[in-house]
Amino acid sequence: MNVKCDSCKYAQRDNKTSVRYWTAYMCNNHDSEYYGSLLNTTQGGFRLNLITWKGCAKGKYDNAAALRMIRIKDIEGLVVHL
């Protein structure tokens, strides 16, 4: 069973790649085929505000991570509407 990246405990902020108005998230699971990959970019390298990757079988569901992503989505929704 795949755990979606936006609910996985291994999806973490990547402060080295983040820029002023965009926070990068990367996979920090050494066992995953996505290890080190940015999870909120497209294949073409375009920055996305949300993690859209489907996840992998090596992920571990983390309720706190899922709630954090929901809060980020809510905050970004507010920013878009301002």
Task: Note the pLDDT of residue 74.
Answer: 61
Structure tokens at 12: 């973490």
Decide: 76 and 69 in contact? Cβ < 8 Å.
no
Q: Model confidence over 21-39: pLDDT tens digits?
A: 899 999 999 999 999 999 9
Q: Which one, of 80, 66, 77, lies nearest residue 8 by Cα? A: 66
Question: Rounded to two decimals, what is the model's pTM?
Answer: 0.73
Confidence check: pLDDT of 61 > 90: no
